Amino acid sequence: MTWALAFLLINLTSFSLYGLDKWKAVHGCWRISERTLLLAALAGGFAGALTGMYFFHHKTRHKKFVYGVPLIGLLELAAAMLLVL
């Protein structure tokens, strides 16, 4: 149960970061760094990051994100499968 809760929290955080950064971009405020957004995905929040990218239409033209976030997701899924085996 604790792993599921941790997965949910990191993905909600990642999703929220993409939404907040989009809001800041629209309003001309100080932005969240691309590094932070990618680190949120790397920390296990790839599903929230990918959902946030397309829900908020944010970072969908940047190759670093379009290819990087799904690649992070594939690597994390592969690592999870290795842990289960």
pLDDT at 53: 97
Residue 1 above 70 pLDDT? Answer: no
pLDDT (average), residues 54-78 = 96
Of all residues in the chain, the percent with pLDDT exceeding 90 is 91
Domain, as residue range, for 73: 2-84
Residue 30 above 90 pLDDT? Answer: yes
CB 50 within 8 A of CB 13: no
pTM of the prediction? 0.91
What tens digit of pLDDT does each residue of 38-50 get? 999 999 999 999 9
Q: Domains in the chain: how many in total?
A: 1
The CA distance from 71 to 78, in Å, is: 11
Please state the φ and ψ torsions of residue 62, each to the nearest 5 degrees. Answer: -95, 115
CB 41 within 8 A of CB 78: no
pLDDT at 3: 85
* 10 C-beta neighbours (distance < 10 Å), count: 19
